[in-house]
Structure 1
């Protein structure tokens, strides 16, 4: 339990102390140190769970199994990488007077509190507290979406809050229905909403109420995850937020909302005898398909990446819906691969936006010449996120397709393949236009900042290495998480 409390306290303390440090150089280095400590504690906790057994405490309110350990590992990894990237990014914004010193410090306060809320979601056992944690992620991240306080940013934050609030209300109703489904089993016991109790008694829950509850939770948390057709807030929010925040939103916030869905899915799929799979396949495939026209006619770089996030959340959901050992392995591997590749893309896009002072694709050209490090990495990241070999996303997408064919989901898998090909064509077309060509006249050939350039190499290594070789220890981790999704207790 000590590791869990440390994990939750560190980002809160880091944000509060960084907020009070007046010297910008000390502030940014302190927050990196705090994020690194959070990374060490998070990985230590995850290793303890994955090599031992789930952790339970606080009278059953806290619970970390393989699924929770996997999600919190992604949060601390992307969080640390984004904290490093933030140093260069926010230093440039401060130097160009895009923000004030007070806003600079507030950024680090809200950034680390945002990480704390997502970590809290990953360690709670009670579904009511899980709902509270996801609601807190909305409230804190909305402040970061509106960070620049411009009209478009405020509008995006308002849309995010409205749609997030509607979605979270649906999720709350779903959790209430879960409680009702177990009244005949638990009575009015205070632990009736604990996930461990519900999953153990899932075969005895009322199937009619569980069916209704799962639909409400899927729509509610699916709104936060960016599943279509509840995704409309996502392109605005991700495009208006600072680039390191976009990386966290896309890389781990969407996963955290999916985590909430999967917790309920595990219960529902047992109660409904496997019938919950079809809902995930439907929403997953629809989310992939709806992004195609928006990517093919896109004019804004960060909005294109945001629609790509809708696609990949759909792919993860589809993989879990396909199920089986291969489908689940591919889906969970894709959660990790997408987090790394999309973080790399948003970091690269942030460097490009700051260099060109624009997010419009038609105003960006010659990136390969102007940014000698960011340009090639951006090109690699674009090929990676679209599922091109030999990068990591190709491996997980291919595995999901293999699971689909072996599971007899031929029509679904062929549709998935065709949609992915169209998205590949659109994104690579725009990427080539930006990377090659003549750069604007008199633009200096120089990277924006050493910190923001160095941060690119952390996810880059994963994107390349995991496309060629998935380490055996990581395969074992995926198998343990798959057991949880199939109703096991690891």
Structure 2
């Protein structure tokens, strides 16, 4: 029942948002629906930690520790972005960038987007997992295009074309996996269920499974933003409203990564070779490497943050490829930590954009002086996302480095460290001028855009700081449970 509510609540909230005409009532329904969705998600996470996996009677839904990690990310980022959206959308409507109809569409699509991502986390059938990831593309594309201007429409078109092509490859991979599964089980409505395929004793046809995963790696890798299938991501992130950019970078890409992880586990149970490892490491390392030159030459700071996202998705992929209990735990921790840091940065970028009326870094100076709180959070977020101690991403990245050397990947780990060091230098080169530079623009008043834009930043800031110093036992236990699924220590 609770699992069904996790889908029903955001769906109903979205439907109500399009019909309610009074702004204050629409914002109230939006806020209540978001809080309820996050509460239900965290309730499911707590249940998994205490009681183990949740599976309903007909096995349509299945929530294990991997699902719970994604649900935790969705719940926290949703709560942050939903509050921020109120101030952000009010400002955009006041400036004439959005009309009443577009505002109503935004709130409807926002909650539909959350519902599709929750469905990714809770569905048991791997075919429906593909459907849910495709649904996230369709809904989020309308959010990217919400401004209905040339650059936004172009970014949406690129997003739809590239991700649809990629997801078609993934569909072919799912079909091939299905063919291998029915050869073993016969025609059944459970042949693509994760609870069946994840059984390490259930061995499929190796050749078909290997071919299947290659297609799935390319397909879902496109949605994750792994290079060289990443070209849609900088445009979509830069043109979307900042709360949507935070959801895209902090949540959506992790949902696609969950799909890769699930199919990777099934493939590894059958192949027991290095194909899966090589694909994850190859695509991951290439993504980290290619992010550096693009970050270095960027002028649009939201595009720079988007390329930073490509870097971090690459780091996660490398960690998954290197494997081992520590590597898997570090990869999952990196997923959570990056979501907190990057969603916070995109929201602060939205504040800066609305204050300075520009996304161009050469036109933005003295953020710390003009917007003291946003500037402070912007600084902490930049230090965190580049892996500076004592913040949360340093903890997970350091664990990845240790895992790499421990698992015998010294050269790969060394190259990864070198790329991350280059990216740190490039991002700090841009950000220091933006944050500390002298404010040379005339008549730039000191102050924040609104309290709605600043108060929600406290939540991700809390996790960015806390998880760099201390991780609660319950969260450590969740990460451990999820990593056991990856190493095959427990049955899902």
Aligned equivalent of 2:316:
316
Q: Which runs of 5+ in 2 are unaligned?
A: none
Give distance in 2, aligned partners of 1:472 and 1:70.
14
Corresponding pairs, count? 489
2:106 aligned with 1:107, yes or no?
yes
2:283 aligned with 1:306, yes or no?
no
Answer with 29-38 or 298-307: which moved more.
29-38
Aligned equivalent of 1:378:
378
1:202–1:268 contact (8 Å) kept in structure 2? no
Give distance in 2, aligned partners of 1:76 and 1:102.
27
Secondary structure of residue in 2 paired with 1:419:
helix
Aligned equivalent of 1:280:
280
Give distance in 2, aligned partners of 1:406 and 1:366.
44
Give distance in 1, aligned partners of 2:72 and 2:436.
36
Secondary structure of residue in 1 paired with 2:372:
coil
Aligned equivalent of 1:473:
474
Q: Deviations over 1:202-244 (max 9, x none)?
A: 6521011111111110100110110111000000000000000
Give distance in 1, aligned partners of 2:437 and 2:205.
62
Aligned equivalent of 2:296:
296
Alpha-carbon distance change, 387 to 201 in structure 1, aligned in 2, over 3 angstroms: closer
Give distance in 2, aligned partners of 1:18 and 1:88.
16
Aligned equivalent of 2:247:
248
Secondary structure of residue in 1 paired with 2:471:
coil
2:235 aligned with 1:236, yes or no?
yes
Question: Which residues of 2 match residues 183-222 of structure 1 at below 5 A?
Answer: 183-200=182-199, 203-222=202-221
Question: Which residues of 2 match residues 479-490 of structure 1 at below 5 A?
Answer: 479-487=480-488, 488-490=490-492
2:58 aligned with 1:59, yes or no?
yes
**CA-CA distance at 1:182 after TM superposition:** 2.0
Q: Which runs of 5+ in 1 are unaligned?
A: none
Question: Which residues of 2 match residues 140-219 of structure 1 at below 5 A?
Answer: 140-200=139-199, 203-219=202-218
Answer with 333-342 or 321-330: which moved more.
321-330
User: What's the RMSD between the two structures over aligned residues?
Assistant: 1.1
Alpha-carbon distance change, 62 to 438 in structure 1, aligned in 2, over 3 angstroms: same
Secondary structure of residue in 1 paired with 2:62:
strand
Give distance in 2, aligned partners of 1:332 and 1:103.
36
Aligned equivalent of 2:42:
43
Secondary structure of residue in 2 paired with 1:456:
helix
Give distance in 2, aligned partners of 1:326 and 1:105.
45
**CA-CA distance at 1:60 after TM superposition:** 2.1
Q: Which runs of 4+ in 1 moved over 3 A?
A: none
1:202–1:267 contact (8 Å) kept in structure 2? no
Give distance in 2, aligned partners of 1:437 and 1:192.
59
**CA-CA distance at 1:437 after TM superposition:** 1.9
**CA-CA distance at 1:353 after TM superposition:** 0.4
1:284–1:316 contact (8 Å) kept in structure 2? yes
**CA-CA distance at 1:188 after TM superposition:** 1.5
Q: Deviations over 1:246-274 (max 9, x none)?
A: 00000000000000010101111121114
Secondary structure of residue in 2 paired with 1:59:
coil
Question: Which residues of 2 match residues 85-96 of structure 1 at below 5 A?
Answer: 85-96=84-95
**CA-CA distance at 1:59 after TM superposition:** 2.1
2:363 aligned with 1:363, yes or no?
yes
Give distance in 2, aligned partners of 1:201 and 1:350.
46
Give distance in 2, aligned partners of 1:198 and 1:446.
55
Q: Deviations over 1:327-380 (max 9, x none)?
A: 111111100000000011001100000001000000000111110110111011
Q: Deviations over 1:169-221 (max 9, x none)?
A: 00000001111222331122221111111122665210111111111101001
Give distance in 2, aligned partners of 1:73 and 1:274.
32
1:19–1:109 contact (8 Å) kept in structure 2? yes
**CA-CA distance at 1:320 after TM superposition:** 1.1
TM-score for the superposition, normalised by structure 2: 0.98
